[in-house]
Amino acid sequence: MREKLNCAIIGTGKIGIDVYIKCKKSRLFENIYIYNKNSKSEGAKYCKNKKFNYSSLGIDGIIKDIKKIDIVYDASNVHSNKIHYKKLRKHLTKNKFMINFTPSNYGDYYIPYFKINKLPNTVNLVTCGGQSSIPMISEIKKIFNINYFELVSAISSKSAGFGTRQNVDEYINNTKRAILKTCKLKNTKIIFNLNPSEPPVTMTNSMFFKINDKINSRNKKKIFKAILIVNIFMQKIIPGYHARFVDIIDKNIIKITISITGQGDYLPKYSGNLDIITSIGVNYAKKISEKKYFN
């Protein structure tokens, strides 16, 4: 009986390489493999220089090696994820898992803030905006009736690779779908900004909650308590997560901001938007390991 997992990562961009390093640090894995289709890419060169278990056979290489792989991390893009999922689908049985880092709609949403008993074989990690804001939305919803929610996510343009820039519409749509499904909140707006400033800015989410209720001192205390609860939980997964109360606007709009500083494994610390996703990807592997689904 094996004590550790084996995983394969498809994609040698920023997310793929960062999750490789996080998987190695986690000590959950016996073997970690990374694949792409372009052996001359910068990411592939980095993997080879660092002596990673690298292959340029792409998804076909993963299918060939699938018997020895427990988890496939897809760190590609929306278009490629559709192809990968179709090829992997028949292999995603009881003890094989796919963790989708792209903002496509494949997989069941996994938000670690919510407890689940059975682990789906294909999980969708939503987006950085969704993962960081949904825990806060769920707690504020316990206090107030929310009429309208607006999320403004701002990240450094240096944190946005080619895949992110290609998939902005999918990012917005997948975030909205996840908020609707997990928090039952229909009236939402998602805004995504790339900030070119130097030095690069840390990821920041500005959240605006328009509510029916009057906000009194008692309710304010509940808001602060909700923020504390979310911070304590999320900082166990990503230590640089920090939510804070900002202000009451026009008597019935609550503004809360979330900043995320990354752990600096491969990505720079200002890339908290990517770091939260890779951290949660490893968190899901920990859940699989705890349940011994790979034996």
Fold adopted by 5-126+275-291: Rossmann fold (3.40.50)
Is the sign of the CA dihedral 280, 73, 4, 43 positive or negative?
negative
Residue intervals of the chain classified under CATH 3.30.360.10 are 128-267
Is pLDDT above 90 for 295? no
The C-alpha atoms of residue 166 and residue 153 are separated, in whole angstroms, by 17
Q: How far is CA 282 from CA 13, 136, 263, in A?
A: 17, 21, 14
167-210: pLDDT as tens digits: 899 999 999 999 999 999 999 999 999 999 999 999 999 999 99
Is pLDDT above 80 for 31? yes
119-142: pLDDT as tens digits: 999 999 999 999 999 999 999 999
Question: 3-state DSSP call for residue 133?
Answer: helix
Is pLDDT above 80 for 161? no
Residue intervals of the chain classified under CATH 3.40.50.720 are 5-126+275-291
pLDDT of residue 1: 66
What global pTM score does this model have? 0.94
> Tokens for 208?
């605006």
DSSP 165-228: HHTHHHHHHHHHHHHHHHH---SEEEEEEEE--SSPPPEEEEEEEEESS---HHHHHHHHHHHH
Is pLDDT above 90 for 94? no
- Write down the catalytic residue from 7, 23, 47, 128: 128
Fold adopted by 128-267: Dihydrodipicolinate Reductase; domain 2 (3.30.360)
Report residue 79 CA to chain centroid gap: 18
Q: Do 53 and 12 form a contact (C-beta atoms < 8 A)?
A: no
217-244: pLDDT as tens digits: 899 999 999 999 999 999 999 999 999 9
Is the sign of the CA dihedral 183, 126, 279, 255 positive or negative?
negative
Q: Do 229 and 216 form a contact (C-beta atoms < 8 A)?
A: no
Annotated catalytic residue 23: no
